[in-house]
């Protein structure tokens, strides 16, 4: 593991830290899918959020926490940053850093599949990052300035050659959502693509999106990683935090992850 060396060049800007916070929100939601959760008895998980996704259903344009909340249950990253600063394997089962050559090598989980049944390969990872870099999409902004080249070895190995050491690379690159090359390489204008039929690798499948209202997801019965115990997820969009709090108090919501800056409400809501 690279030893953190912080400088003006590699301290994460506030906006990039916000993206990681969004990924952590996804982690919290996925945690309730693990054995032992009281939510197993429910068929629908209702989540509140105080804004709609700025990127719509196009992950290449994802820049806000809301974008990652909505899209992060359909698409997945190489690795999942944890609250304690550790990083958990996800699409990638392992990784190594070679200091002399300044290369990160990710080994993908061979079980990983897209929702259409096709395997996830290193080519998908390479395509996702290179496309984001080529068009300066928000998806690639946290790492673009530090990566010299990306290559693959076989179907399940991806190698990032760095321009210079970057202490936050694992968290930022690992937390980047991965896109299927066989779908997005056919899109002529990616920045304008509405992505009305998303093909992802996540535990849920897209069913319906109503701007300023909600997004409805249904479980991916063929999810590659584990059995999913929740049939549907509805992320409900509220125009303001106050309305969302009222909905939580009424029992209309099971989770409300966007309390940042309003922590004083936590003791009240716990009651």
Q: Is 91:201 a contact under the CB 8 Å cutoff?
A: yes
pLDDT category of residue 77 using cuts at 50, 70 and 90: very high
User: How many angstroms separate the Cα of 239 from the Cα of each of 35, 56, 64, 107, 213?
Assistant: 34, 17, 16, 42, 9
Share of the chain above pLDDT 70, in %: 85
DSSP lists the bridge partners of residue 92 as: 108
pLDDT per position as a tens digit, 114-173: 999 999 999 999 999 999 999 999 999 999 999 999 999 999 999 999 999 998 999 999
Structure tokens at 196: 């009305």
pLDDT per position as a tens digit, 22-65: 555 555 555 445 444 444 445 899 999 988 788 889 999 998 88
Mean pLDDT of all residues in 186-205: 95
DSSP 155: T
Mean pLDDT of all residues in 192-214: 94
Least confidently predicted of 3-7, 54-58, 131-135, 250-254: 3-7
Q: What is the pTM of this model?
A: 0.84
Separation CA 243–CA 265 (nearest Å)? 13
Structure tokens at 225: 């990683």
Least confidently predicted of 27-41, 88-102, 229-243: 27-41
Longest Cα–Cα distance of the chain, Å, equals 57
Please report the pLDDT score of residue 153 as a whole number: 97
CB burial class (10 A; 0-12, 13-18, 19+) of residue 166?
A: buried
Separation CA 124–CA 225 (nearest Å)? 18
Mean pLDDT of all residues in 192-216: 94
């Amino acid at each position: 593991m690279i030893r953190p060396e912080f400088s003006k060049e590699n301290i994460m800007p506030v906006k990039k830290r916000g993206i990681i916070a969004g990924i952590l929100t996804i982690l919290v939601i996925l945690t309730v899918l693990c054995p032992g959760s009281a939510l197993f008895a429910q068929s629908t998980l209702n989540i509140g959020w105080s804004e709609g996704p700025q990127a719509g259903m196009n992950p290449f344009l994802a820049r806000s926490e809301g974008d990652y909340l909505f899209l992060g249950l359909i698409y997945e990253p190489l690795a999942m940053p944890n609250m304690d600063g550790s990083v958990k394997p996800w699409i990638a089962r392992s990784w190594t850093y070679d200091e002399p050559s300044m290369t990160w090598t990710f080994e993908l989980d061979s079980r990983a599949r897209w929702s259409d049944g096709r395997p996830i390969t290193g080519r998908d990872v390479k395509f996702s990052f290179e496309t984001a870099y080529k068009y300066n999409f928000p998806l690639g902004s946290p790492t673009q300035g530090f990566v010299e080249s990306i290559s693959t070895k076989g179907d399940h190995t991806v190698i990032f050659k760095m321009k210079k050491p970057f202490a936050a690379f694992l968290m930022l690159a690992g937390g980047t959502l991965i896109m299927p090359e066989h779908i997005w390489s056919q899109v002529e204008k990616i920045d304008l693509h509405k992505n009305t039929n998303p093909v992802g690798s996540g535990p849920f499948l897209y069913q319906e999106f109503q701007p300023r209202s909600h997004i409805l997801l249904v479980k991916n019965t063929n999810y590659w990683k584990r059995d999913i115990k929740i049939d549907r997820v509805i992320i409900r969009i509220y125009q303001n935090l106050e309305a969302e709090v009222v909905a939580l108090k009424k029992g209309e919501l099971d989770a409300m992850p966007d309390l940042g800056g309003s922590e004083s409400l936590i003791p009240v809501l716990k009651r």
